[in-house]
Amino acid sequence: MTENAIFSTSDQPLSITVLVLPHASILEVASVLDPLRAANRHLGWEGFRWRVVTPDGQAAPLTCGISLPSSGPFGAITGAFTGAEVLIVIAGYRLNEVATRPLIRDLRRLAPRAALLGGVDAATWVLARAGLLNGYRATVHWEDLEDLAAAHPEVEVLPDRFVIDRNRMTAGGAAPAQDLMLHLIRARHGAPLARQVAQSFIAIARPGHDPQVAPRAKDPLLDPRVARAVARMEATLDAPAPMTEIAAAVGLSPRRLESLFRASLGATPGAYALSLRLAAARRMLTDTQHPMAEIALRTGFSGPSSLSRAFRRQFGQAPASLRRRG
C-alpha cells in the first residue's frame, strides 16, 4: 500500500469534498462522515472539514428511501475546489443511470485538482470509467471484483477491504470505508484518537489488506465443519462439487454432514449449496447486464434452461421477468 502526504501527521485541518451519487447507501455516507465528526469531537477542534455535493446540486435519493441534502452541484465547484485536498466519491446502484457523460466529464476535469481521490463501493466503477484509475491498484465491493477486473484490465483489482495507491484510495463498501477513515485519522492524529473514534462506534479497525468477506471457515455462529463446507461451496459456485467430496474434505460422512447442516442452517447441504448459486444468479440478474448463458455458466448450471427451472422453483418467477422488473 503506497500512500501520500495526506496520510502524514498534521495539525492542519483537512478539507474533504464528498460527492454522493443517487442510489448510494446511507450507511456508506455515514461510514465516511461520522468517523470524521467523532474525530473532531475528541480533538476539540476541526481536524477535518467536509462538504457534501451531488451531480446536479439536488438532494440525492438514497437506497433507504430518504434524500441526502447537497451543498451544491459538483460541476460548479471549480473555484472553491482548489481548497479541497480530498475528493471522495460514493456510489451504489443504477450506475448506468447515474454515471452520466456530464458527470464523467466533470470528474476528469476536477479530480486531478485533488491531492487525493477516493471511491467507495461502486464509485470505483465510476472512477475507472473516467480513466482515473488507469495504472493504479484499487478495490471494489467483493461482488464486483471479477467483473471490474474483466472490464478494466488497466486497473489492478485487489480483493482488499481498502486500497491506497499514491493519490488514489478505494474502499469495498460501508465497513471498509469506516476502516479507511480510521486509518486516515490514525495517520494524521495518532493511534489513540483512532481508537477513541472506533470505540465510539463499538467498532474494531481492520487493516486494508484484510479480505472484505471473513472466511466462512472462521464463522463463530457455525459449527467449524459446517463453516468449512460452506466456504468450499462459496468458492466453487461455477463448478459445484458432489456432497460426498465436500463431506470427505471436512472429515465427515455425508450423513453426519447432513445432520449438522440441518441443525445449523435448517437445510440439507445440497439444498443450501443450490440456494447459494441461485442467490448469486439473482444478484447478477438485477445488478449486471450479463447474458443468461453467462450467468448460468458462472453459477454452475448447464445452461439458461436449467437455471430458469431452478430459479422459478426457488423464487416463484422466471429469471427474465425479474430482470425486466429490475
CATH number listed for the domain at residues 216-325: 1.10.10.60
pLDDT at 99: 94
Give the rounded percent of residues in the chain with a pLDDT score beyond 70: 94
- Using alpha carbons only, give the angle 31, 119, 62 rounded to the nearest 5 degrees: 55
pLDDT at 1: 55
Tell me what the pLDDT averaged over the chain comes to: 91
Delimiting residues of CATH 1.10.10.60 domain(s) in the chain? 216-325
Q: What cell numbers appear for 264 in the block?
A: 445449523
pLDDT at residue 41 is higher than 50: yes
Q: Stretch 37-51: mean pLDDT, rounded?
A: 95
Assign 322 a pLDDT band (cuts: 50, 70, 90). confident
pLDDT at 96: 87
Q: Stretch 130-135: mean pLDDT, rounded?
A: 97
Give the rounded percent of residues in the chain with a pLDDT score beyond 90: 76
Of 34, 1, 16, 138, the C-alpha closest to 87 is: 16
Q: Stretch 147-170: mean pLDDT, rounded?
A: 95
pLDDT at 218: 57
Assign 220 a pLDDT band (cuts: 50, 70, 90). low
pLDDT at 211: 75
pLDDT at 217: 47
Higher pLDDT, 134 or 322: 134
Give burial (CB, 10 Å; 0-12/13-18/19+) of 49.
middle
Give burial (CB, 10 Å; 0-12/13-18/19+) of 61.
middle
Q: Stretch 88-96: mean pLDDT, rounded?
A: 94
pLDDT at residue 82 is higher than 80: no
pLDDT at 81: 58
Q: In terms of DSSP bridges, do strands 86-91 and 67-68 run parallel, antiparallel, or are they unpaired?
A: unpaired
Delimiting residues of CATH 3.40.50.880 domain(s) in the chain? 5-200
Assign 187 a pLDDT band (cuts: 50, 70, 90). very high
pLDDT at residue 223 is higher than 90: no
Cβ atoms of 21 and 15 closer than 8 Å: no
Q: Stretch 302-316: mean pLDDT, rounded?
A: 93
pLDDT at 115: 92
For the chain, the straight-line distance linking the first and the last C-alpha, in angstroms and rounded, comes to: 38
CATH number for 5-200: choose from 1.10.3720.10, 3.30.460.10, 3.40.50.720, 3.40.50.880. 3.40.50.880
Flag the least confident range among 51-65, 78-92, 110-124: 78-92
